[in-house]
Amino acid sequence: MAEYKGIKGFKVQTVSTDPAASIAATGTWASGGSMNTGRAELGGAGIQTASIAMGGKTPGVDYNSIVEIYDGSSWTETGDLNTARKMGGGNGAGTTTAALAFGGRKTPTDTNTGETESWNGSAWTEVNDLNTARGQLGGSGATYTAAIAAGGGTPSATAVTEIWNGTSWTEVNDLNSSRRNLPVSGTTTSALAGGGEDGPNAQIESWNGTSWTEVSEANTARNSASMSCNGLNTDTIYFGGITPPYTTKTEFWNGTSWTEVNDLSTAKGYAAGTGTSTSAFSFGGEPGSLSTTEEWTTTPAPSFQQENLGQVFYNSTSNAFKVTKQSITAGTWSSGGNMNTGRASTMVDSVSGGLSGQTNAIGASGASPPGTNLTNVELYNGSTWTETTDVNTGRRLGGGAGGQPAAVIAGGYVTADTGATEIWNGSTWTETTDLNTARRQVAGSFGTTDSSSDLLICGGFPAPGPGLAITEIWNGTSWTEVNDLNTGRWDGAAMGASTLAGLVAGGQSSPAPIPGQTAFAESWNGTSWTEVAEFNTNRLSLGGAGVQTDGIIFGGDLDPGASATTEYWNGTSWTELNDLATAVTHNSGGGSTGAGISFGGADGSNATEEWNAGAINSTLTAS
């Protein structure tokens, strides 16, 4: 006889550990054996179970020549370097039996050096110098016959890159940005350079054996960090550093994007890093010339299961049924492709209820530099921005909705407030009927994704006067005034997927009773506005994404200063989430709470950040 579960049931996979987003996401740091001599700004090379520490700065001594070797559990002192030096925190190559130490700052004159020494397992021998003497440089190499050195200080920051062939150094193509105190991982044909001082310290560059290319920025900007020195430009972890202050942040690079993983136990900078993304090693560093070490280990591959949203499974270790689901509160921001032309106050926020905002955004017009209107339009495909047909009238501080291949923009500031409206059909912009009330700095705008026949614009700032409350709806042919906002305002954020339902948040309302930034939010039901719960941080000129009952707001002007704060609206209340990597104001936004986007900003920012909700494994309980 057939069993009931055979008729109505379904199979559930049994696992011993919860699924994870990647093998790197299963990784953790644990304490290793302490060094005999604590130090910072040291050189390092090797793997987790066989690393070599070279030179550095010890308590009370600015420069030392001490060398120690790690066997996976303890350190042993061995033959000293010929030249005592601070090596910048990681520039070395090779193994414990055949290594290379190069560059740094040496005693007694505190000068930069290009001196290079080769280790044969028992003694150091001076070999040919770097062409450019420097300290605070980054360097790596799996063997002592093939190393790469990049950046550093001469004393000013440099972008110079050199390759070692086992005999001599040769200058090759420079980094795109000069910087000091940067980590480098990889080989002479596949390397990664991260962060650093002087330049943009979230910027990452990838080396292909010929040239450096800027790739996605790290989530946490920092200098004096470490990398798994044997990681390639497609597989590296990045840890510690100074933001400031010292940080424990650890990130994994998969060749395309950065993912935050489990943090170091101790916040530190100027440490050495060795190993790979699955088996890394951190030793030494500051503050306090540390002697401590940490070992990074990921879950063995046989026990790894990839997370898939919606999967139901049984965890035999915890004796519980679980489901993998999306968690807005676990979401994080990561770097996307930079715009070709930095700008503030673009005209289309690409707000939608789906994914199109993040993978199909449009940045139309705006201002760059401040006060100069652009006609330029760019399209985003999820990784890069491409220039397309210009708008007819360059402007800033207006409203719009849509994405690709259809959008509409209206209002803004040219040389005066305007009500001009233009429609995008995927290839050209066409001027059409103006708004009834010309305005700039609209409080919010939203409409149907990929449509030029559905747009709501509310609020604004006509000169002179207090904030507008006027709301107008576009039907593809003309504008119609509908019910006003309860509180007139300008420079807010909006979320909504049609003119039937949306929400505006923040902005500025003046004069009294509410001068300055607001935390007001109002919900639109297709007929009228209703005041809802205020959010946590008052601000104006911020971005928004999502729909009426499920949205996020981010960035904004705190007057003074910009904000990185992100907040989530669930239809009833606001919750603070993970911040943008960089505080920004006058940014544009779009997408959804699962996949959002922020782009552009004041002072001609060309940065793009992408929001992705995290996945969590949640225990199923009987209700």
Average pLDDT score over residue span 413-435:
93
Task: Please give the pLDDT value at position 157.
Answer: 94
Which of 124, 182, 108 is closest to 148 using CA atoms?
182
Q: Is residue 6 pLDDT above 90, yes or no?
A: no
Which token pair is 460? 């604004």
Tell me the one-letter amino acid at 151. Answer: G
Average pLDDT score over residue span 352-364:
66
CA 482-483-488 angle, 5° bins: 115
Distances 53 to 48, 96, 122, 546 between C-alpha atoms, Å: 12, 9, 14, 50
> Which residues have CB under 8 Å from 32's CB, separation 6+?
70, 73, 281, 283, 293, 294, 295
Q: Is residue 339 pLDDT above 80, yes or no?
A: yes
Give me the residue spans of the domains in the chain: 30-303, 330-337+346-612
Q: Is residue 351 pLDDT above 50, yes or no?
A: no
Domains 30-303 and 330-337+346-612 share a fold: yes
Average pLDDT score over residue span 478-506:
92
Average pLDDT score over residue span 337-357:
68
Determine phi and psi for 67, rounding to 5 degrees: -125, 135
Q: Is residue 356 pLDDT above 50, yes or no?
A: no
Task: Please give the pLDDT value at position 112.
Answer: 93
Q: Is residue 184 pLDDT above 50, yes or no?
A: yes
Tell me the one-letter amino acid at 68. Answer: E
Task: Please give the pLDDT value at position 355.
Answer: 35
Task: Please give the pLDDT value at position 168.
Answer: 97
Q: Is residue 260 pLDDT above 80, yes or no?
A: yes
Mean residue pLDDT of the chain comes to 90
> Which range (36-50, 199-213, 233-247, 341-355) has the least confidence?
341-355
Q: Are 142 and 93 in contact (CB under 8 A)?
A: yes
Q: Is residue 591 pLDDT above 80, yes or no?
A: yes
CATH topology (fold) of 30-303: Neuraminidase (2.120.10)
Average pLDDT score over residue span 57-76:
92
* Helices and strands (DSSP H and E) totals, the chain: 2, 52
The residues pairing with 231 across neighbouring beta strands, listed in sequence order, are none
Contacts 24+ apart (CB under 8 A), 124-127: 124/67, 124/79, 124/80, 124/81, 124/82, 126/82, 126/83, 127/167
Average pLDDT score over residue span 543-567:
92
Which token pair is 187? 């080989």
Torsion angle, alpha carbons of 213, 215, 217, 223, to 10: -30
Q: Assign domain 330-337+346-612 to a CATH class.
A: mainly beta
Average pLDDT score over residue span 532-543:
94
Average pLDDT score over residue span 52-76:
93
Q: Is residue 242 pLDDT above 80, yes or no?
A: yes
**In terms of pTM, does the model score above 0.85?**
no
CA–CA dist 334, 255 (Å, integer): 14
Q: Is residue 608 pLDDT above 70, yes or no?
A: yes
Q: Is residue 513 pLDDT above 80, yes or no?
A: no
Q: Is residue 359 pLDDT above 70, yes or no?
A: yes
Which of 313, 293, 455, 296 is closest to 20 using CA atoms?
313
> Which range (48-62, 354-368, 467-481, 597-611) has the least confidence?
354-368
Average pLDDT score over residue span 191-218:
89
CA–CA dist 384, 596 (Å, integer): 15
Q: Are 214 and 203 in contact (CB under 8 A)?
A: yes
